[in-house]
Amino acid sequence: MQRKSRKDPVAKPGAYHHGDLVTTLLAATTALIEERGVEGLSLREVSKRAGVSPGAPFRHFSTKKALLTAVAEQAMDRLSDALTSAQTKLKSADPAAIYEAIGVGYLDWALSNPTHFQIISSRTIIDFDASSKLVDQNAAIRDRMVDLLLQAQQLGQLPPAVDLNLVILSSRAFTYGLARMAIDGHLSGWHPRETPTKAMRGALRLFMTQLFVPHSR
């Protein structure tokens, strides 16, 4: 079924060209959030950090939410690249292994980009559904996961009657929860013996062993 096109809320019609102003504004926004949190963010503060007039951001972003949505789109681009890279580096055709690689790529990306992770995860501060980029790229990741699970079923790595939607939901909840725990500083209390990266990968490996039946070629 073809997805309905949504108007992108980020760029305003007639936005003027000021070098790479948009990229500068996004970088300033990310830096300010890292320092003060989302609550203390304002377009005036962003313009000051970017070194432009207070009205300059409004020529590209009509509201604070539109600016944060643009940051989320940047985060989604980087997440998609990270997941593609994780699958490419694996050099394997095994769907279960590729599925796990997507999880590893997600966790590594989240740990390396905590601010982007928090922004794209907070649906109350961005207009996710109004951004065609966010909706389409998120759907592409999900479609890839569905395809891998179908392949795994054909190889006997998953029971034929298993609900793939629940598998995807469980996988998403598990990896998101691990990332959230790591970024919020909870892993050291629950698993102090290893670094966050090792702890997350170990937990993911255990999850995958319970999900998939090994396939013998």
User: pLDDT tens-digit profile of 49-105?
Assistant: 988 887 777 778 888 999 999 999 999 999 999 999 999 999 889 999 999 999 999
23-57 tens-digit pLDDT:
999 999 999 999 988 887 888 889 889 888 877 77
**Domain extents for the chain?**
1-60, 66-211
pLDDT in tens, 166-201: 999 999 999 999 999 999 999 989 999 999 999 999
Q: What is the pLDDT of residue 32?
A: 92
Position 36 scores a pLDDT of: 86
Return d(Cα 21, Cα 12) in angstroms, integer.
14
User: CA 141 to CA 93: how far, in whole Å?
Assistant: 17
Distance CA 42, CA 64 (A): 7
Which fold would CATH assign to domain 66-211? Tetracycline Repressor; domain 2 (1.10.357)
Topology (CATH) of 1-60: Arc Repressor Mutant, subunit A (1.10.10)
SS (H, E, C) 106-165: HHHHHHHCHHHHHHHHCCCCCCHHHCHHHHHHHHHHHHHHHHHHHHHHHCCCCCCCCCHH
- Average pLDDT taken over every residue of the chain: 88
pLDDT of residue 215: 57
Tell me what pLDDT residue 134 has.
97
